[in-house]
Every structure is written in C-alpha cells, then in structure tokens.
Amino acid sequence: MVKEIDAHIRSSLSRSKLVSLVTELNSLTDLCLQCNDSMRSLITTDDDLEGITKWGENLLSIVAACRERVDHHLLQRADDVSSVISSRSSTAAARYSRRKALEIELERLKLEHAQAERQRQVQLTHEQERFKEEQEQLALKRQIDVLDEQERSIYGDDELQPPRTRSFSYADTVQHWLSANGARKKDETSRSNDVLHTTSCAQNRTSVQRPLPTGPAVPTDVSAELAAEVTHP
C-alpha cells in the first residue's frame, strides 16, 4: 500500500486525485479502527486477541505511513502552489503596471492626435479660404482681361481710343483749383468793370440829354454833377 502511494506521488498526481486518495485513506483508517474495536470485543483466547491486536496495529502503522507521505506531498505541493501563485501575482502586478502605463501612453497619443487633427482642420480651412480668394482674384482678372480685349476690339484704331486718365497729385489738384478760381475772379472783376463802365456811360448820356431847369441863371458844373451821379446813382 505504501509503495503504491509512493508510486502515485512520484507520478505527479493532480491535486484532485491526491485529495481523493487522502479521503480513501481516511475511510480505510476508520474501517481499521472499527475492526480493531470489534475484535477486542469478541470473546477469544489470549493468543487470538494478541494476534488480532498486532494485525490492527500493523494496519494502523501502514495507514499512518501512507498518511504521512500524502501529507508531506500535499504540503510540498501547497508550497509549490504558493510559490506559483506568488510568481503569478508578481507577473500579474507587473502586467497591470505595464497595462496602466500603456493606457496612459494611449491617452496621451489620443490627445496629441486630437490636437493635431484640430490644427490640421484649421490649416485646411485657411488653405481653402486662401484658395477661394485666389480663385476670386483670378476670376476678376479674367473679367478685366475680357473687358480690355473688348475695349481693344472696339477701339481698334489708335485715333478712336479714349484718352488714358492719369492720377493727379495733390499739388496738381490745388494748382488747378487756384488757377480756376483766379480765372473766375478775373472774369468777374472784368465783368463788373464792364458793367460799371456801361452804367457810367449810360448815365452820362442821360445827363447830357436831360433838359436844363428853367429859372434864374445858375452856374452849373457838369463834371461835378456827373461825378456826384456816378458816386450816388
């Protein structure tokens, strides 16, 4: 029996099989104890009682030896299992730490990717707006070119082309305004002088044709009278 148990232990039985073997040993031990008690209760001779007792004791020693072997193996397996569990716990802790580090790195990469995506969208929007402005400028330039071409086709002859306007400077504009105002003042002055001269001539003619008053002879000064009339019309 002991050899059989040793053979089973050396063959690296599983934990469940060892537990079942221990259960069988316990039941066998109980059976031996019951048999020993039953034999002692029988009325037999001293020789038979001594033999039965010796047989029971041998059986109990065998069971104890088997139990000791099994317990030792179970303890050894328990130590092995504990070391395995400890190793697995350390490995699991290391894996958990590594997993947390990878999760943190993943979150950082996600954040950087989101920021880069936003920057890319902003840059893309700016590029689209710039492209749109360039297209609008090109369209306006094409329209201007078309209008220039139409103008050249209408005014094919150099004599029919309209004069090109040039931009005036501030000095040219002020000088033109002063010249225009000065000419207008001269025209108004000459015109007022002409009006005064015409009026004076008309008054002279009127004063000459005016009949002299009748009455006592009064010396008259025609030039003084004309001057007074011109001064006070």
Per-residue pLDDT, 30? 72
Per-residue pLDDT, 132? 93
Distance CA 100, CA 105 (A): 9
Reduce the secondary structure of 150-168 to three states and give it as a string. Answer: HHHHHCCCCCCCCCCCCCC
pLDDT in tens, 196-228: 555 555 455 444 445 544 544 444 554 555 555
Q: What is the mean pLDDT of each run of 10 residues along the chain (233 residues)?
A: 58 65 72 66 60 73 73 71 78 90 93 92 92 93 90 68 50 54 52 52 49 49 51 48
Pair 27, 63: CB distance under 8 Å: no
Distance CA 84, CA 94 (A): 15
Per-residue pLDDT, 198? 52
- What dihedral do alpha carbons 118, 123, 127, 129 form, nearest 10°? 60
Per-residue pLDDT, 58? 74
Q: What is the mean pLDDT of the chain?
A: 69
- What dihedral do alpha carbons 28, 30, 31, 33 form, nearest 10°? 120
pLDDT in tens, 141-162: 999 999 988 888 887 655 545 5
Q: What residues does each domain of the chain span?
A: 2-115
